[in-house]
Amino acid sequence: MNIETSYSGDTAVGVVSGRVDSSNAKDFDGELSGIIDGGATNLVLDCGSLRYISSAGLRALLIAIRKTNQAGGGLALCQVPENILEVLEVSGFVRLTKVFDTVEEAQASFK
């Protein structure tokens, strides 16, 4: 798992690649928390290169959703591969976060 982050104002875009599973969900949580605690109230996660996310990763995602909500912002996902979208649907996460096709659409949702 790796996250490459870029910033524009109070919106951060994190490009997530690899796998988020039980072995590295803590690192994923730490990286997301670092981005949000660093002042980004809006967080876009580009999931185009994400291979899979297990329930441990969803827990970290839930914490990030709560944090951005509390900060008055939000979390949006984009470029989500089909099988990972199924994970988000089955777990009910599609109701907790918005899912967009492109990074631009996700960014625009915060304006």
For other proteins, the binding residues (CB under 8 A) are 19, 21-23, 52, 54-56, 58-59, 62-63, 65-66, 69, 82-83, 86-87, 90-92, 95-96
Q: What angle do CA 49, 106, 109 make, to 5 degrees?
A: 170
> Is the distance from CB of 55 to CB of 24 less than 8 angstroms?
no
User: DSSP state, 41?
Assistant: S
Find the helix or strand (DSSP H, E) in which 65 lies. helix 55-70
Bridge partners of 91, per DSSP, are none
